Amino acid sequence: MSTLLQVLLRSLETGAIYALATLGIIIVFRTNRMINFAQGVMGMVGAYIVTVLNQNFQLPLLLSILIGIVAAIAIGFLVDFVIIRRTKKVTGTGKEIITLGMMMVFLGMTPMIFGVDPMRLPKVIETGELSIGGANLSFNSLLNIVVGIGLTVALFTILQKTKLGLAIRTTASNEKTARLMGVPTKWVTLFAWALALVLGTLAGVMIAPSTSVTVNLMDSVQVNAFIACVLGGFQTFYGPVIGAYIIAIATNLLSYYVSSVWGTQILYALVIIFIVFRPVGLIGKRMTNKV
Amino acid sequence: MNSKSTKTYLSYIIFGVVLAALPLLVSTGIIKTSWVGIIGGTIIYAIAGLGLNLLLGYSGLISLGTAGFMGLGAYISAYISGDLGLPWELGMLLAIVIPLAFGILIGLASLRMEGLYLGIVTLCVSEILRKTFDELEPITGGFSGKKADFPTLFGVIELDQNTTYILLVVVLVLLMILTYNLANGQLGRALHAMRGSQVAAQAMGVSLLKYRLIAFALATAYASLAGALYVHFIRFVYPSTWTLSVSLVIMALVVIGGLRSIFGTFIGAVIVYALPDLLLKNIPVIGDINGLSYIFSGVLIILVVLFYPGGVVNLFSSIGNKFKKNDSSAATLATAADAAGETPVAAATTEGTEASNE
């Protein structure tokens, strides 16, 4: 029982990380109508900035994270200003190709700026743990869980209750009409890209202490976040978040109880089989194309 | 067969003969030996690119599974001809058929949904395959890698690096001819119609799923063939070879070279794969920087999609059009048809279609 609880608690932590990365993907998808394949590497760049500030410049971790977030916002603005604004006339596939190109640029630039040696990022809370029903939960994991859920809730409140959220939802539902109605869609996409960068950076900072900071830092997070979007459906903001937690729980359960080597592969295969029967995902409407 | 396709075939064959002359130039000492390896690699990338071009160029679907399928082809071929000691030809055949069957299953699962999922599902499949390559040590050799030999044709003719290179050229030319026929045959026409208007194509009885599936299956087959050729040319393969970056590079060469262009794919492969190796690394100071070729291709992709959707091959035809008045009207027609990704090559293919209808 305590092992099951342990696995579930760990799933909540990985779920929080996946949820943040997933939200980054979905907010760009909904407002720009494009799948951002560069989400993972953008988070990786953010995590690198935090790590370098903390390790090479000896800044306190929290300050490094804060500067990292500011830098992420700046990169998000830059990406939107320099590239995304010019893609209005490009087809959907063209936009996706552009995100793949951005991914290559980021992947090439990272070792150039930050060097090729793997780095380490410490945890925010180094020591201490809770004991819940025989399962252990470190304070840092608890913090990650709280940050994950807290940010998700905050984001949904913004989406549902504020004027900015209304603008985002209108843009997501129909960009052209939104623009005609006076919604500043340019600011909405700008906000979406900055937010995606910040969420990616936070996910990177959360996953970094459990591994080393390299260019491949976010690879598995990115794949899991995409799988979560597929599972939850691209039509809503909350579907993918539910998907992220399901993926996290299923990965950990499968790799603990079934096979530590083949667990992930089995899960991906299951999700692919799932979309055969329900192509729109758990929560989703069928997209229809009007002639 | 008409005069247009004969002329095209001839141009491919002449191109192949020129490429095949490379080892001769090496033996006379005009160019370095390392060029055979680099141009051989370029040919392998171009083969995978031709398949992806059918998918990406004609049906507008993105596949990020190219690397995974290349790896699958490479390991199957190396295992059958190396560990089992069976003929090289059988290894090649199975190295295409098994990934092809796998690709059809994945296509069936993911293509029913607006094509949106194919990129994501192939990304996941590539990830599954890469992890499998790590773990399946008896077949793949795990992290330490797997060796293979140069091919032995029909059990008697043992090839060396130069003759394997010529084999690569032969395969490339055959595939160029095959791709030309596919693109101008029923498949190409159906995909063209779908790109123009999905609804209109469906109304005319074109099955979206069927033709998308065929295009994806072909991309898979080309990729696995490229992988199988890779393992017998480079003669060594690690699981870490088949990461997402290979898929990205192949997509880059297709986009940069020119969508729906056969020569463009090869030109793209030269720009993305060979140029960084041959030129960039020789430039002092910046040549030593890691990841420069990556930035180079990434920036090129973005620029091509934004400002020059026809790709680099378009440069040649737009220069050609300056001298020919008749062609320019066809080119404008083509650009008007789809502002976001049409090339004069499409005009050429429409001409081809008309010719074959006669």
B335-B337-B341-B344 Cα dihedral, nearest 10 degrees: -40
Q: Across the interface, do B302 and A273 touch by the CB < 8 Å criterion? A: no
Segment 195-224 of chain A within 8 Å of chain B by CB = 219-220, 223
Residue A244's pLDDT band, with cuts at 50, 70 and 90, is very high
Residues of A in contact with B64 (CB under 8 A): 37
Q: Across the interface, do A112 and B108 touch by the CB < 8 Å criterion? A: no
Are B182 and B50 a contacting pair, CB within 8 Å? no
Residue of B nearest to A89 (CA): B340
Most trustworthy range by pLDDT among B15-19, B88-92, B96-100: B96-100
Given the structure tokens 């290979």, which residue do they identify? Answer: B246
The pLDDT of residue B290 is 62
Given the structure tokens 């260019």, which residue do they identify? Answer: A215
Interface residue B194 vs chain A (CB under 8 A): no
The pLDDT of residue A289 is 55
User: CATH number, domain at B264?
Assistant: 1.10.3470
Average pLDDT over residues B40-54: 92
Given the structure tokens 């090339």, which residue do they identify? Answer: B343
The predicted-structure confidence for A179-205, as pLDDT tens digits, reads as follows 888 888 888 999 999 999 999 999 999
Long-range contacts of A261-266 (CB under 8 A, 24+ apart): A261/B135, A262/B135, A264/A220, A264/B128, A264/B131, A265/B128, A265/B131, A265/B132
In a domain, B309, yes or no: no
Residue A114: pLDDT above 60?
yes
Listing DSSP states for B91-108 in one string gives HHHHHHHHHHHHHHHHHH
The pLDDT of residue B286 is 58
In a domain, B70, yes or no: yes
Question: Which range of residues forms the domain containing residue B234?
Answer: 3-273
Are B252 and B272 a contacting pair, CB within 8 Å? yes
Interface residue B294 vs chain A (CB under 8 A): yes
Higher local confidence (pLDDT), B269 or B358? B269
In a domain, B181, yes or no: yes
Residue B332: pLDDT above 50?
no
Residue A266: pLDDT above 80?
yes
Residue of B nearest to A90 (CA): B340
A4-A7-A8-A12 Cα dihedral, nearest 10 degrees: 170
The pLDDT of residue B146 is 79
Residue A240's pLDDT band, with cuts at 50, 70 and 90, is very high
E-strand ranges in chain A read 129-132, 135-138
The predicted-structure confidence for A37-90, as pLDDT tens digits, reads as follows 999 999 999 999 999 999 888 889 999 999 999 999 999 999 999 998 888 788
Residue B284: pLDDT above 70?
no
In a domain, B347, yes or no: no
Residue B134: pLDDT above 90?
no
Report ipTM (2 d.p.).
Answer: 0.85
In a domain, B284, yes or no: no
Residue B113's pLDDT band, with cuts at 50, 70 and 90, is low
The pLDDT of residue B121 is 87
Q: Across the interface, do A90 and B108 touch by the CB < 8 Å criterion? A: no
Q: What percent of chain A has pLDDT over 90?
A: 38
In a domain, B350, yes or no: no
Residue B291: pLDDT above 80?
no
In a domain, B304, yes or no: no
Mean pLDDT of chain A: 87
Q: How far apart are CA B93 and CA B76, in angstroms?
A: 10
Q: Across the interface, do B295 and A104 touch by the CB < 8 Å criterion? A: yes
Q: Say how many domains are in chain B.
A: 1
Average pLDDT over residues A170-176: 85
Q: Across the interface, do B109 and A229 touch by the CB < 8 Å criterion? A: no
In a domain, B118, yes or no: yes
The first and second tokens of residue B257, run together, are 């070279």
Q: Across the interface, do B302 and A220 touch by the CB < 8 Å criterion? A: no
